[in-house]
Structure 1
Amino acid sequence: MKDNGVLSFCHPTVTDTKSLADRIEDVLPQTQCTKCGYAGCRPYAEAIAAGEAEINQCPPGGAEGIVRLSAVTGRKVIPLNPVHGFERPRAVAFIDEALCIGCTLCIQACPVDAILGAAKQMHTIIPELCTGCDLCVTPCPVDCIVMYPVTETTGWDAWSQADADAARCRHDFRNARLKREREENDARLAAKAQAKMAAVERLSPENAAEEAEKERKRAIIAAAMERARLRAEAAKADKDQE
C-alpha cells in the first residue's frame, strides 16, 4: 500500500497509561459505520466509558466484539441489540461506474477515504480499504452503489485486528486532513475579509448616502471577521483538549 502520508501519520505513540475510553476504542472494529448510534468508534467508546451506552451496540463487532468489550469494561456479556443491526458477513461497496454522475457525495460520506474520484468524474471503490460501513449508499442520488458480501464468516471472524488498525489510521488521517483544510479555508476567508475592510476604510464618502453604505459594508465585514475569530478560538480549544 502506498503511504500517501497515512502510514507516517499513524505510527502509534506508546503511552504508559490509557484511559478507559482508549482501551475500549482499541477493541472496536473501527469500521466507523455509526450503527451504534454514535458518530464513529471513538464517540461510542467514550459513551461506553461514561456509562451512557451499552457494550452490545456494535453489529460489525458482533458477539466476539461484545466479549472483548466485556473484558475491558467488566460488564456482563449480553446479546447484540437488534435495534442497531445484526452480525453479518463483511461487505464491500461497489459503484456501477456506468451510472455514476460524479457528484462526490459518496466520497464525502466515506469515513476512511476508500473512494477515488473527482467532481463530474467516474468514482470507484478501493476494495481493500473499504470497511463495509455502507455510509456511501444512502447519499448516492442515482442509486449506483451496492454492498457485496465478501466473506462467509461474520463479525471479528470476517475482520482482523490489522484491518481495524489500518482503518483507524485512515479515519484519523482523514479527520486531521479535513480539519486542516477547514482551518486553511478560514484563514483565506479572514485574509480576504481584512483586505475588503482595508478597501472600505480607504473610501472617501462624498455624501450621507455613501457614508451609510460604507458603514453597512464595514459592519458586514466586521461580523464576518468576528465569526472567523470565534471559529478559530473554537478550533484552538478543541486542539488543546486533544
Structure 2
Amino acid sequence: MTPTLADRIDDLLPQTQCEQCGFHGCRPYAEAIAAGEAAIDRCPPGGAAGIARLAALLDRPVLPLDASRGIEKPRTLARIVEADCIGCTKCIQVCPVDAIVGSSKQMHTVVADLCTGCELCVPACPVDCIVLDPMPQAQADDRVHADAARRRFQRRERRLARERDARDRQLAASKVDVAAPAAKNAVLEALARAKARKKDNP
C-alpha cells in the first residue's frame, strides 16, 4: 500500500503526542499539514531539524519554530517521585501512550522505555510529584521508539473509543429502563381516565 502524504509527514514527526501543535496527537497534525491547513513550524519536540525535514519533503521554505507553541529543548522522560505519589491516577488518565502504570491509591511509576516526553502528566499531577529527567539521545532519535509510541497511542485511542461507546450504550439502556415504567404508567392512567369517562357517561 502506497503511503499517503499524511503518512510520510507523520513518519517525520517525533510521535510525542504532546499536543503542543494544537492537534490531538501527531497524526491529526500530519493530516492538517497535508491538507494545507497547518504550517510546518508547530512542533517544538521536532525542533528546527524536524521543520527542515518537513520543508524538504513538501518543498516548502524552512520556517523558524512558532514560539507560541513552545520552545525547542532537549527531550525529557517523566519520573514519579514515589514517596510523594498519592495514587490519584490523574497522570495515568492523561498519558497518551499508556507509559504510566499503577492503580487508585497505589504508587504509580513511569515505564521510561515507553515515555515520549510529552510532559502532559506534569500539570495533571496535583501534588507535583513528577520530575523530568533528560531523555537519552539515542532514544530521542530512535524511529523504532517513535513508531512504537505511535502504535501505543493508536491502541489507547481505540480503547478509549470502545469505553466511550460502552458508556453511551449503558446510558441509553438505563434511559430505556427508566422510561419504560413511565410509559407503562402513562398508558394505565389513560385507560383509567377513559374508563372513568365511560362510567360517567354510560
TM-score, normalisation: structure 2: 0.84
SS in 2 for 1:98: helix
Q: Which runs of 5+ in 2 are unaligned?
A: 194-202
Tell me the alpha carbon deviations over residues 65-89 of structure 1, each in whole angstroms, 9 at most, x when there is no partner: 1122112211122333333233322
SS at match of 1:137: helix
- Once the two structures are superposed, the pairs formed by residues 131-210 of structure 1 within 5 Å of their partners are 131-151=116-136, 153=137, 158-203=140-185
Equivalence for 1:25: 10
Q: Which runs of 5+ in 1 are unaligned?
A: 1-14, 212-242
How much has 1:157 moved relative to structure 2? Answer: 8.1
Partner AA of 1:158 in structure 2: A
Once the two structures are TM-superposed, the CA of residue 101 in structure 1 deviates from its matched residue by: 1.4
Structure 2 counterpart of 1:216: none
Q: Residues 179-220 of structure 1: CA distance to partner in whole angstroms, max 9, x if unpaired?
A: 001101111121222122222233379989xx9xxxxxxxxx
Asked if 2 retains the 8 angstrom alpha-carbon contact of 1:90 and 1:159, the reply is no
How far the C-alpha of 1:94 sits from its partner, in A, is 0.7
Alignment identity in percent? 56
CA-CA distance at 1:60 after TM superposition: 1.4
Distance (Å, rounded) in 2 between the aligned partners of 1:28 and 1:36: 11
One-letter code of the match for 1:164? A
Tell me the equivalent position of 2:22: 37
**Partner residue in 1 for 2:76:** 91
Change in CA separation of 1:117 and 1:157 when aligned onto 2, cut-off 3 Å: closer
Do the aligned partners of residues 49 and 202 (structure 1) sit closer, same or farther apart at CA in structure 2, a change above 3 Å counting?
same
Q: Compute the displacement of 1:137 (Å).
A: 0.2
CA positional deviation for 1:24: 1.1
- 96, 100, 119: which one pairs with 1:111? 96
How many residue pairs match? The answer is 191
State the alpha-carbon separation in 1 of the partners of residues 128 and 64 from structure 2.
Answer: 33
**Residue 42 and residue 50 in structure 1: after superposition, are their counterparts in 2 closer, same or farther (change >3 A)?**
same
Q: Which residue is 2:61 aligned to?
A: 76
1:50 equivalent to 2:35? Answer: yes
Structure 1 residues 57 and 205 mapped into 2: Cα distance closer, same or farther (>3 Å)?
closer
Provide the secondary structure at the position in 2 that maps to 1:92.
Answer: strand
Local SS of the residue matching 2:75: strand
RMSD: 2.3
Q: Quick one: which amino acid aligns to residue 88 of structure 1?
A: K
Computing the radius of gyration from Cα coordinates, the structure with the larger value is 2
Deviates more, 1:58-67 or 1:135-144: 58-67
Q: CA deviation at 1:139?
A: 1.2
Q: State the SS of the aligned residue for 1:89.
A: coil
